[in-house]
Structure formats: structure tokens, C-alpha cells
């Protein structure tokens, strides 16, 4: 029973470490989004998809204006074969 108990505690510790790592990654993502919005940068569909951790086609299928977390995402223009998006912070 001690081995099982130790194993369960180890799994909980690893799981907790993984959750903390995921939260740190989320904070990094949100900081990046904040900087993009704050500086008025435009980003492509593929860059936005990477930021959101979704497929690029999922970005374009959402329409021209939609919300993601604390931001409104707006389609700004097309440059060649790329659609450019702008993030605007909302509270």
C-alpha cells in the first residue's frame, strides 16, 4: 500500500507541476497578446492561430470580428494571400 500511496503522490506532484507549467505558458500567451494589442501590431491568420493554439482555418471561419479572452479580434485587411488581424483589449 505504501508503494501505491507513493505512486499516487508522485502522480499528483507531476500533475500539479504540469498544471503550473500550463499556467505559465498561458500567462506568456496573454502577455504576447497584450503587447500585440498595445503596440497596434497586425498579425496574420497563422500567427493568430499559433497564439490561440488552434488551426488557422478556425481563425478565418470565425468571421471578421469576434472575441477571444480579453480581446476583440478584427480582420483589418488582406495583403497578398494573407489576412491581417488586430487585437483590441477589452475589460
- Does pTM surpass 0.85? no
Percent pLDDT > 90 in the chain is 75
Q: Give the residue from 13, 15, 83 showing the smallest Cα distance to 46.
A: 83
Give buried/exposed letters for 16-53 (b at 16+ CB in 10 A, else e). Answer: eeeeeeeeeeeeeeeeebeebbeeeebbbbebbbebbe
- Determine the pLDDT at residue 91: 81
If pLDDT is split at 50, 70 and 90, which confidence band does 4 have? low
- Determine the pLDDT at residue 17: 86
DSSP 55: -
Amino acid at each position: 500500500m505504501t508503494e501505491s500511496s507513493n505512486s499516487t503522490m508522485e502522480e499528483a506532484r507531476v500533475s500539479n507541476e504540469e498544471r503550473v507549467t500550463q499556467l505559465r505558458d498561458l500567462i506568456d500567451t496573454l502577455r504576447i497578446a497584450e503587447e500585440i494589442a498595445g503596440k497596434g501590431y497586425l498579425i496574420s491568420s497563422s500567427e493568430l492561430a499559433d497564439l490561440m493554439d488552434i488551426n488557422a482555418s478556425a481563425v478565418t471561419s470565425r468571421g471578421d470580428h469576434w472575441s477571444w479572452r480579453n480581446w476583440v479580434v478584427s480582420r483589418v485587411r488582406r495583403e497578398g494571400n494573407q489576412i491581417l488581424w488586430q487585437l483590441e483589449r477589452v475589460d
